[in-house]
Every structure is written in C-alpha cells, then in structure tokens.
Chain A
C-alpha cells in the first residue's frame, strides 16, 4: 500500500485555469504538508496543516489554498494558474508528536502551465 499518494501525477493546463491536486496518507499521521520543487530543484515548504490549523508560508500567493476534509487528506487548489506555477508539488505527512519527527513524501505532481 502506498503510504502517501497524490493525484494526478501529471497535470498540464492553460494559464488562467483553476486546478486541484489531491493528497491522501494512510499512515495515521495528523500533520500534512505541501512542498514545491521548482525548475532549479529547490524544495520549499508551502503549507503545513495540523489538527485543522493551517500554517502558511508567507511567500505563497493567496491563489493557492489548501483544503483538508479530514486528517488523511490535504488537497491543494490553485486559482488563476500562472506560468511560474509550473513545478513539481509534493505532499508529505508526519506525526506531530512522534518520536522521530520524520516526514513521508508522496510521489509528486508535475504541473505544467502553458
């Protein structure tokens, strides 16, 4: 069983469209994250979500909105897509109070905005 899964794996869309990426974890974790990896391969945190508390990276445009229907899911909705949003988006999860504080990552969603 895949611990952290994301759909879709690839997403190609036009500028100005609205799209969503879904993430699910079956690890029983209470915290989930979204990271963005740009063309230069740097990975940066976008959001973390713990027990209905959203913690936002201030540099993320408000066109990006995470939504968590329950602890096992954290979806990322993006409005008015721009060329610069093209990147690979990784979801991750962890146990907030866990002993090791390690994060488990999904396989990524490669978003291409044309």
Chain B
C-alpha cells in the first residue's frame, strides 16, 4: 500500500468546511484513496473512497488531484461531533493476503465552538 502523509492536527470552526489534506505521491494506478475516522473511544468509521473522480456522499466529499498524488477530504459543515482522528489510506481494493487496512497516524481534527 502506498505511503500517505497527513498533518498531525487541524482546527476548524463549527459550521465551516473542514478540509483535510492527504499526500500520496507514490500512489499506483490501481490504488484507491479511502478515508476513515475514529471518534474518541470508538471504532474507526468508513467515510468515503475514490479512484480518480471526485466523490460525494452524505458524510463528505473527496477531491483527488488530476495526478492523483494528493487528495482532500471535505466536511462541508463541520459540527462538534466531527472532532476525530481522520485516516487517509491508499490501497488496492480486495488486496493483501489479510485484506488488512494499514492505518497511519492520521489527522486530529478539532471542531471548535
């Protein structure tokens, strides 16, 4: 799986958009970008994933640059409940002998009132 780089922490004002960056300059052509988050004391939660086109669901939007070397997760209207560690994971779906997710250190997003 390609290595990812994320800022260790970010703050965002409640109600504003939270833009979380992820660099994955060594991504290969068949690797997808997945985002998970972990709210304090809870299990990780899937947010969104994409290959090269921008994706949107009820939780967030994912913007992937044309060269696919970086991406941004956007929470359009952050709430206090969005405070969590956000993990960017690059992987080929259905790959790996154990199909494991490889988590890095992520970005601690703090939404401020």
Could you list which residues of chain A lie within 8 angstroms of chain B, going by C-beta atoms? Answer: 4, 31, 33, 35, 41-45, 47-48, 50, 55-57, 90, 92, 94, 96-97, 100-108
Q: How many A-B residue pairs have CB under 8 A?
A: 58
Q: Does B85 contact A (CB under 8 A)?
A: yes
Known: A90-B43, A102-B49, A105-B44. A42 touches B105 (CB 8 A): yes
Question: How near does chain A come to B46, taking the closest CB pair, in angstroms?
Answer: 4
What's the tally of chain B residues with a CB closer than 8 Å to chain A? 20
Could you list which residues of chain B lie within 8 angstroms of chain A, going by C-beta atoms? Answer: 34, 38, 41-46, 49, 85, 93-94, 97-103, 105
Cross-chain contact B44 with A45 (CB below 8 angstroms): no
Question: How near does chain A come to B52, taking the closest CB pair, in angstroms?
Answer: 16
Contacts of B94 in A (CB 8 A): 96-97, 101
